Structure 1
Amino acid sequence: MAPDRGLRIIEPVPEPDIEVESEEMIPSNFSGEGDPPVKFLPEGRHFTFRGVVVGLLVGLVIVFSNMYFGLQTGWVSMMTMPASLLGFGIFRTLSRHLSFPFTPVENVLVQSVAGGMAIMPLGCGFVGVLPAMEYLLKPSEQGPIHLSMTKLIIWSLGLCYFGVVFAVPLRRQVIIREQLKFPSGFSTAVLIGVLHGKGSTQNSGALDSSKAATFGSLALENQPLLEAEDANDDEDRTASAKKQTWAANIRLLLITFGISGVYTLSTYFFPILRNLPIFGTVAAETWLWTFNPSFAYVGQGIIMGPATTIHMLLGAVIGWGILSPLAKNRGWAPGPINDWETGSKGWIVWTSLAIMLADAVISLGHIALRPVVEHAPGLFIALKQRYARGGLRGLFRRHPTGYTTVAGDETITSRHSTSSAEGTSSLSTPGDGEGGRKVWDHDDAPPEQLVGTKVVSIGLVISVVFCVASIHITFGELVPLYGTIIAVFMAMLLSIMGVRALGETDLNPVSGISKIAQLFFALIIPQTHKASVLINLIAGAVSEAGALQAGDLMQDLKTGHLLGAAPKAQFWGQIIGATVGAVVSAWIYRLYTAVYEVPGDLFQVPTAFVWIFTARLVTGKGLPYMAWEFAMGAAVIFAVFTVLRTKGIGKTWHAYIPGGIAVAVGMYNVPSFTLARTIGGLMNWYWRVRLRRDDTPLIVLASGFILGEGFISIVNLILQSAQVPHL
């Protein structure tokens, strides 16, 4: 232990005597049984130019992948684990040429920048809202609307900021105070720790984020220091094993990348490979039951896990195995099966949409009302006590709290001082720990590493004004100004529920959130308005953007919190990533839509149809025959299922209750994608549950599969634009 020359927190006192305000760090050295362990700030540079550049390069590959897969099925992922893995691989390859070492906190920066880029295809509406506007809006609905490249960039930049800024004040509540799990963020922190030699992976059943709640909990610097001889011996014993493990992972990544890439290139010359009739030609040609043996979709299934993919398969069976034949044979959907307007492909979308809405309303309502119900009794008792002590004045009087601290033989009483937008309370005096390293005994980062109040306040105002202005520039008088303003503030409200849902369940219900926004706007925008459908689409897009950014980027902040990375560095990394990602996504979207037919065989844009159908429904356009009855029945059933799931979080039977969003996705996507993802989910289950093996090779395998197809799809794009014939 370090010499006993620090401050020790003893107990709260009612009225502090001395207020200490300083931006130095607290030396935290504890002795005696039961004291918390010493916590050193992790070493390394939190924000570097090279980290930003590598993050942008990794993010560019992921953006191409997400645009490709998003236009096909609507699936978009931040891919934080692959980003961390790729960032580590690049820096390890260049390790001999680095002027200072690549540390876990710099890896957090890399994946923060990459994550900020990765979600832009979905966050800016390029895989759903924009295709709906450009290809599905009818002339009577003020469409179709084809945006120039300049307006595409203005639109995407307008949507990319306010969710990032709004995540900053939410961070203090959900990560520091409530300590929500954010399972993917926790797992990414564990992976980064393993890559940098900070620990060993555990099987899935042993990962418990509640054991790592404070700032830097998973960093090596927070662990007891080894004696020099022990450290050297340990280094000698593990150096060879770590080198062999790293080499094996790199070989696996390259092999899986190559396999997926070769398959993707083959599909250009042999398109039949995307739709193998494994259930017979009748099932394939009549009912669309084919199999797409895409390694990328297998990789996506690995990342999604067995529960989600099995629920998606259930949705495919219900939608394409039961409802589709029923609607066709009864004459409710008389057109070809593959027709969105008159066929059963479009008919079953209404059922999936009802399931999605029921899941979103119940789950988000539970998240919004639960804190009120849980804390109402305690709040009433506290107010009653304050009233008893001081009458009406006692209800509003501020009662400061403080801590008694011991420094040597002196006792000093101190008061919390809030120094950042995240409400960080800080008591501080200068001091160093062992080896000259700074030490810190708070649950959060030091004040100088947090995003300041002024930055957040100004950033929120600018981002909101810029969003409103960008929509006005893009769509002119078609969209009323008051509608855009309401959409932005509603997006912030819904973002809170989305962040909490993600922190508790690892699922960001952005699809349901956007549909709730569409329902709300149907009430405030008259159905007689000439652009009611267009306004509805834009309102949903704004809400989806805010919830997606605030939620998914909170996973990054959880990762950084556990590894001791500076939130300020992550924030600016996310801003940079979002800016570049918005511009690049606009360019990639226009590239794909210029070369390929949209919607078409390759890019079916199913989420665009979900968007436009929702807008038409809530603006009074009506449903196909008998679709209303089945939609309402499905909504009631899955409302019950969602209630059971919210009550069963953490229980063994939770995974067996179908998740509404997953089932809905399985219904509006054709079965070929779902079958491949299910294979990946079963591989995940077999590897982690049956074999109880280390997670890292599985992550490497999935990353290689996904990135291989996403990257080589650029080659297919070039071949298509050059009109190279198919075989």
Structure 2
Amino acid sequence: MATEDKHDDAALVDSGGGAADPVSLEKEFEEMAVPSWRNQITIRSVVVSVILSAVFNVIVCKLNLSTGVIPSLNVAAGLLGFAMVKGWTVLMEKAGYLKQPFTRQENTVIQTCVVASSGIAFSSGTASYLLGMSPITAAQADTGNNPMNIKQLSIGWMMAYLFTVSFLGLFSIVPLRKVMILKYKLTYPSGTATAYLINSFHTPKGAKVAKKKVWVLFKSFVGSFLWACFQWFFNAADGCGFSSFPTFGLGAFNKRFYFDFSATYVGVGMICPYMVNVSLLIGAILSWGILWPIIESKKGDWYSAELPASSLHGIQGYRVFLAIAMMLGDGLYHVVYMLAVTARSFLQHKESANEGTGVDQITDYDERKRTEFFLKDQIPNKVAMGGYVLLAVVSIIVIPLIFHQLKWYQILVAYIIAPILAFCNAYGCGLTDWSLASNYGKIAILVFSSWVGMDQGGVLAGLASCGVMMSIVSTASDLMQDFKTGYLTLSSPRSMFVGQVLGTALGCFMSPLVFWIFYKAYSVGDPTGSYPAPYALMYRGIALLGVEGFSTLPKNCMTLVIVFFIGAVVINIATELLKRYETKYRVYRFVPSPMCMAIPFYLGAYFAVDMCIGSLILFIWEMKNRNGAKEFAPAVASGLICGDSLWGIPAAVLALSGVQAPICMKFLSASANKRVDAFLG
């Protein structure tokens, strides 16, 4: 997940012993019995899944609330799951109490559960559409700041809402599992790479490499945690500490160009592709270095000089709506492109694919064995379709009780359309590894907010419908990725489904709980604070566009919105044309991503600087030892992210207890320092 849309870099996941010989992979496991689907779900796997789900919910919540840039955490989940259960089984074996060996199927269930839980933390909207309903976000948006379009956040209704909407996606896509995996043989790159990672862990060579990686991850984790703890002592108030270090001078600091010593985003930078990080920096330079200073010079002409800096009718409006324009342009292009690719590929498969998927028709040993186990424990289609209808009925009853702005027939329309979009997203994800769930959610915001209207609470209706659509579409593609992983590790579809259900339930419980800790301990949503939650205001801005149109935008903002929207589409078209027709130098690799460029428009460059430093570390490491970097860089990066993010929990507990850091480290200009000295003297 390099940006708000989920795109896992499969090459990063496929590490740890390398992929096994594709000709005879299953023959390496021939002497290992495959446990029944019930035995693939053990008490120890559930306990480890719960622990790691809590850890990853904290990490994703912190990343969501700070910048919204989230990397793939599959490597960390796989490594930590393997380490915890393997350590436990070694101890039990030495004590003579080991009853069941640790299998790759059990490892797959843990991975499925943890990734499902962290996926809910991403799609739950606690840092986007749900937070966009709050008075804190509404106060920054000026218009729509009325009781019909504001909802006080409460952990109770947030949990009820997530439990209501998060499970339908699982049932919507189950009947198509054989078509997607066996008939059309979609690759699902992240699911495939995760399977090779798990398979490699359970071979003798892979287990040794995995142990080394776990040790590297542990050292990186401890160092990151201790560094975050050390920084806390100098952070007595906002604007204090290493996170406000004017690395490039006070002038650049005021334009949000500085290095804030965040181990989290250095680690994220090591995981994300180079061009993602460069795109972030380009976007920061374009906006904070060039565009915003020009627009600020028009104060009093383009917008009133009396407006506060947070007003959407002032400079903040340009920052938010130009970012939205680029995101919508990028998102709309990818939705249209994915639908076209899906339709073309589906038609080709329909014409040429062999209708049979029986085991007796397959000659390849590995494929025959995988197909045999994939077809062994089926989930009846009647159960899947009945589950979807039942949960849809529950949602149609419950959601209007939580959001009276949405009517039952509007939710019914959403649930009629959602399975079609879920199929398109899951199919496209199998081809390209892109999940466009958030883009479908943004489209739902525009449609339902305009349908309901401002006076009837269209802002809240649009944001709530975003959660309905995004949850179904996101969980559907995630489940199909897991089915692909299970297919390649001989894990039962039933154990995969149960693991996904358990992970979804954990996410629905933990995600609001972790968010609530941060929400009560820090000034979440404050654009100048540590947790600005940038997507909250952006999602609310999309809802305002839906109910009001473009009439409320500041002067010339509409013109710039059109320019940046078209610019995002043109950049994507240019990238696609370069991919098709320019193959010698592969210039398309150096074209920036509009979605990534848009994120710093609101936040500034500080996290982009952090991530570029992570890229620089990885680049130097690869120059000196490419194999070592490929093997261990993801583990180092995961440790940096985990350690720094987990310090957020004790820091939040200290804040809630009223304990302040003892020191405030600030940086002043020479003239300001003289004035302070004179005042104190």
Alignment TM class, shorter chain as reference: 0.7 to 0.9
Q: Counterpart in 2 of 1:669?
A: 603
Alignment correspondent of 2:331: 360
Once the two structures are TM-superposed, the CA of residue 110 in structure 1 deviates from its matched residue by: 0.5
Distance between the aligned counterparts of 1:130 and 1:537, measured in 2? Answer: 7
| Partner residue, 2:197 | 191
Provide the residue aligned with 2:407 in structure 1.
480
1:256 pairs with 2:220: yes
| Greater mean alpha carbon deviation, residues 327-336 or residues 179-188 | 327-336
Q: Structure 2 counterpart of 1:136, which letter? A: T
Q: Paired residue for 2:284?
A: 316
For 1:67 and 1:620, how far apart are their aligned partners in 2?
Answer: 31
Correspondence list, 1:202-601, <5 A:
243=208, 245-271=209-235, 272-285=241-254, 287-331=255-299, 332=302, 334=305, 339=310, 341-373=312-344, 425=358, 440-441=368-369, 443=371, 445-475=373-403, 477-523=404-450, 525-527=451-453, 529-600=455-526, 601=529
CA distance, structure 2, for counterparts of residue 338 and residue 305 of structure 1? 34
Matched, 1:75 2:87: no
Aligned equivalent of 2:647: 712
* 1:563 alignment partner AA: T
Which range is displaced more, 552-561 or 614-623?
A: 552-561
For the structure 1 residues 522 and 104, does the alpha-carbon distance in structure 2 shift closer, same or farther, using more than 3 Å as the test? Answer: same
> How big is the shift at 1:109?
0.4
The residue that corresponds to 1:221 in the other structure is none
| Alpha-carbon distance between aligned partners in 2 of 1:568 and 1:116, rounded to the nearest angstrom | 15
Structure 2 CA distance for aligned equivalents of residues 428 and 190 of structure 1: 25
Higher-helix-fraction structure: 2
Change (3 A) 1:520 1:640: same
1:644 aligns to 2:574 (yes or no): yes
Question: Identity rate of aligned residues, in percent?
Answer: 24
Contact 2:221 2:640 in 1 (8 A): yes
Instruction: Tell me which amino acid in the other structure corresponds to 2:227.
Output: Y
Contact 2:52 2:114 in 1 (8 A): yes
Shift in alpha-carbon separation, 1:264–1:463, aligned structure 2, 3 A: farther
Q: Distance in 1 between matches of 2:101 and 2:453?
A: 60
Specify the SS of the correspondent of 1:330. coil
Q: CA deviation at 1:106?
A: 1.1
Query: How many residue pairs were aligned?
Result: 603
1:516 maps to a residue whose letter is I
8 A contact 2:454–2:548 mirrored in 1: no
Structure 2 residue 627 is matched with structure 1 residue 693: yes
Distance in 2 (alpha carbons) for counterparts of 1:376 and 1:106: 37
TM-score when normalising by structure 2: 0.81
Instruction: State the alpha-carbon separation in 2 of the partners of residues 188 and 375 from structure 1.
Output: 25
Could you tell me which residue of structure 2 aligns to residue 142 of structure 1? 148
Residues 319 and 544 of structure 1: is their aligned pair in 2 closer, same or farther, counting only changes over 3 Å?
Answer: farther
Tell me how far 1:346 sits from its aligned partner.
Answer: 4.0
SS in 1 for 2:285: helix
* Residues 310 and 681 in structure 1, CA contact (< 8 A), matched pair in contact too: no
In the superposition, the TM-score normalised over structure 1's length comes to 0.76
Partner of residue 633, structure 1: 563
Specify whether residues 141 and 351 from structure 1 end up closer, same or farther in structure 2 by C-alpha distance, changes over 3 A only.
Answer: farther
1:181 aligns with 2:187: yes
Letter aligned with residue 229 of structure 2: L
Question: Offset at 1:375?
Answer: 6.8
> Matched residues in 1 for 2:422 and 2:288: separation?
33
Residue 168 of structure 1 corresponds to 174
Q: Is the 8 A contact 2:75 2:634 kept in 1?
A: yes
CA distance in 2: counterparts of 1:128 and 1:462, whole angstroms: 28
Q: Rg: which structure is higher?
A: 1
Shift of 1:376: 6.3
Tell me the SS of whatever aligns to 2:627: coil
Looking at structure 1, the residues matched to 196 and 262 of structure 2 have their Cα atoms a distance apart, in angstroms, of: 29
**Cα distance, 1:481–1:198 mapped onto 2, change above 3 Å:** farther
Deviations 1:6-44 (A, max 9, x none): xxxxxxxxxxxxxxxxxxxxxxxxxxxxx9998777744
**Alpha-carbon deviation of 1:557?**
2.8
On the 8 A contact 1:265/1:715 being kept in 2, the answer is no
Deviation at 1:304, TM superposition (A): 1.8
Flag the 1:321–1:468 CA change in 2: closer, same or farther, 3 A: farther
Measure, in 1, the Cα distance between the counterparts of 2:432 and 2:618: 18
CA contact (8 A) 1:128 1:608 kept: yes
State whether residues 342 and 424 of structure 2, in contact with CA within 8 Å, keep that contact through their aligned partners in structure 1.
no
> Any conservation in 2 of the 1:514–1:541 contact (CA below 8 Å)?
yes
Residues 89 and 313 of structure 1: CA distance in aligned 2, closer, same or farther (over 3 Å): same
Aligned-partner Cα distance in 2 for 1:68–1:257: 16
Q: Distance in 1 between matches of 2:361 and 2:396?
A: 42
**CA deviations over 1:360-399 (Å, ceiling 9, x no partner):** 22221122123545676998x99xxxxxxxxxxxxxxxxx
Residues 369, 440 of structure 1: alpha-carbon distance in 2 compared, 3 angstrom cutoff: closer
* DSSP-derived class of the 2:83 partner: helix
Residues of 2 paired with 1:312 and 1:521: CA distance? 31
How far does the alpha carbon of each residue in 1:394-436 deviate from its partner, in whole angstroms, 9 at most, with x for none? xxxxxx988xxxxxxxxxxxxx6xxxxxxx646699xxx9xxx
**Unmatched segments (≥5 aa) in structure 2:** 1-22, 93-97, 139-143, 236-240, 664-681
| Cα shift at 1:687 | 4.5
Instruction: Tell me, in whole angstroms, the C-alpha distance in 2 between the residues paired with 1:706 and 1:537.
Output: 30
- Residue 83 of structure 2 corresponds to which residue in structure 1? 89
Q: Distance in 2 between matches of 1:163 and 1:47?
A: 22
CA distance in 2, matches of 1:586, 1:401: 46
Counterpart of 1:57 in structure 2 is: 51
2: distance between equivalents of 1:300 and 1:454?
Answer: 42
For the aligned residue pairs, the C-alpha RMSD in angstroms reads 3.1
Matched letter for residue 657 of structure 2: A
Shift of 1:574: 0.7
1:294–1:676 Cα contact (<8 Å) kept: yes
Secondary structure in 1 matching 2:435: coil
Find the aligned partners of 2:369 and 2:468 in 1 and give their Cα distance: 40
